[in-house]
Amino acid sequence: MVMKGNVTTIRKVLKKKLDEERYEHTLGVAYTAMCLAMKYGEDLYKAEVAGLLHDCAKCYPDEVKLAKCEKYNISVTDVERRNPSLVHAKLGAFLAMNKYGVTDMDVVDAILNHTTGKPAMTLLEKIIFVADYIEPRRNKAPHLDKIRRMAFEDLDEAVRVILKATLEYLQDKGSAIDEMTAHAWEYYEKEWEKERKNESVTEHGEAGI
């Protein structure tokens, strides 16, 4: 992967740009992403860089996030304008390319889609989406021990469960739900149902022999 700079440099810059808690979370996501990459056969370096940079735009004050989007011609929706924290993914993807020298679009896409998820994610996108939720410093979400184990057994199943938990959490809080999260959940729910049907057909077939 051709890339300006390296992970040590990226880490040094991030340490200045992020608060302490976010920096710790960032390292947790990078290492968890690398473990998942080992398990599922993704490039370790891509996983590390995407993990390190996924929240690189998270700690700017809201008005700075919006100002940067305007400066770099990044479109902002009405929902994002009302809740500017949501733009950290697309602003982060932009900064990864233009400030951190990332040229690999798999890495950029994984940063871009890490918050909402999306239907039919690539392996690296799934790894970052899941690592963001299960990294060791996270402690608030329910059933984390179970989801952590699941992530290393069936990545798609972990994606589906995390999407569902995210939607439920946002609904309970009365927060705006990004359409993409709902689309992503519907997609993985359908895939899961398809798989279950296939399994029951196979079982039935075997039983019939």
Binding residues for Fe ion, per CB under 5 A? 55, 132
Nearer to Fe ion, 74 or 191 (CB): 74
**What CA–CA distance (Å, rounded) separates 8 from 36?**
21
Nearest-10 crossing angle of helices 179-208, 155-173: 140
The distance of closest approach from Cβ of residue 55 to Fe ion in the complex, given in angstroms and rounded to an integer, is 4
The distance of closest approach from Cβ of residue 102 to Fe ion in the complex, given in angstroms and rounded to an integer, is 16
**What CA–CA distance (Å, rounded) separates 2 from 48?**
14
The distance of closest approach from Cβ of residue 25 to Fe ion in the complex, given in angstroms and rounded to an integer, is 6
Beta-carbon contacts of 89 under 8 Å, excluding residues fewer than 6 positions away, are 54, 57, 111, 112, 113, 114, 115, 116
Task: Count how many residues are written for the chain.
Answer: 209
Nearer to Fe ion, 134 or 150 (CB): 134
DSSP code, position 101: -
Nearer to Fe ion, 89 or 150 (CB): 89
Residue type, 78: D
The distance of closest approach from Cβ of residue 41 to Fe ion in the complex, given in angstroms and rounded to an integer, is 23
Nearer to Fe ion, 109 or 132 (CB): 132
Q: Which position has the token pair 């609904």?
A: 171
- Count the neighbouring beta carbons within 10 Å of the beta carbon of residue 179: 11
Nearer to Fe ion, 133 or 185 (CB): 133
The distance of closest approach from Cβ of residue 196 to Fe ion in the complex, given in angstroms and rounded to an integer, is 31
The distance of closest approach from Cβ of residue 51 to Fe ion in the complex, given in angstroms and rounded to an integer, is 9
Q: Which position has the token pair 């690999």?
A: 104
**What CA–CA distance (Å, rounded) separates 205 from 209?**
7
Nearer to Fe ion, 132 or 178 (CB): 132
